[in-house]
Amino acid sequence: MPKIVNHEKMRSEIARKAIALLAKKGFQATTIQDIANAAGVGKGTIYHYFRTKEEILLVVSNELFYEMERSFGAALLRIDDPLDKMAALIEEAMHVNEDVENIFIVYTELWLINVHSHKYQDFVGVIKKMHHDLTALVSNMIDAGKNRGRWDRDTDSQALACYLVSSFDGVIAHYMIDKEKIDIKKVTKEFIRFLLQRGAPRK
């Protein structure tokens, strides 16, 4: 009698366990054997759940999406003021720990794979979606700020939001390779201060 397993659950289980490996060694350098070991199954078993090595990445990218959505959602739940919310979002986005670094690394590799081979559009779907959602969120915050007279009315909310959301990744990337020189907390604080200067908007 066949063992009863939830196929989909097993896929995300394996994918989730692969993330740390992928972050540490990169996709190419991570072998199927590595992934099987990390998942505690045999090498052949992996092929019951994924047709190819690349398919694992696909599922990994979904896992990343849920992971990040959860983390951002939690951060924004209980704040009302739009500008406070924006500050909280930035703080959250810039809060880097080991898990975040792992996600960021894999996510960068997905970006690269996509850039190298446009046939794998799926890989960056999650990045694009995340970026889109966050941009909408920030844009709404800015609009809310405008409505409450707390933000300059001639700002193009969409464009600025896009810039802001995009900028996070640049800061994290640089921080990750030069932790000694870059004080990300200070940079974040200064940026928030600059962004939300009281007295804004100008006349």
Partner DNA sequence: TATGAATGAGCTTTCATTCAT
Partner DNA sequence: AATGAATGAAAGCTCATTCAT
Residues near its own copies, by CB under 8 A:
2, 24-26, 28-29, 44, 105, 108-109, 111-116, 124, 127-128, 131-132, 152, 155-156, 159-160, 162-163, 165-171, 173-178, 181-183, 186-191, 194-195, 197-200, 202
Least distance in Å: CB of 40 to DNA? Answer: 7
Name the minimum Å distance from CB 65 to DNA: 23
CB of 170 to its own copies, least distance (A): 3
Closer to its own copies at the Cβ: 74 or 115?
Answer: 115
Look at residue 198 and give the partner it binds from DNA, its own copies, none, a contact being a CB closer than 5 to 8 Å depending on partner kind. its own copies
Sign of the Cα pseudo-torsion (67, 71, 74, 79, in order): negative
Sign of CA dihedral 120, 66, 91, 162: positive
b/e 45-64 (16+ beta carbons within 10 angstroms → b): ebeebbeeeebbbbbbbbbb
Residue 120 touches DNA, criterion: CB under 7 A: no
The end-to-end CA distance of the chain, in Å, is 76
Q: Tell me if residue 147 falls in helix, strand or coil.
A: helix
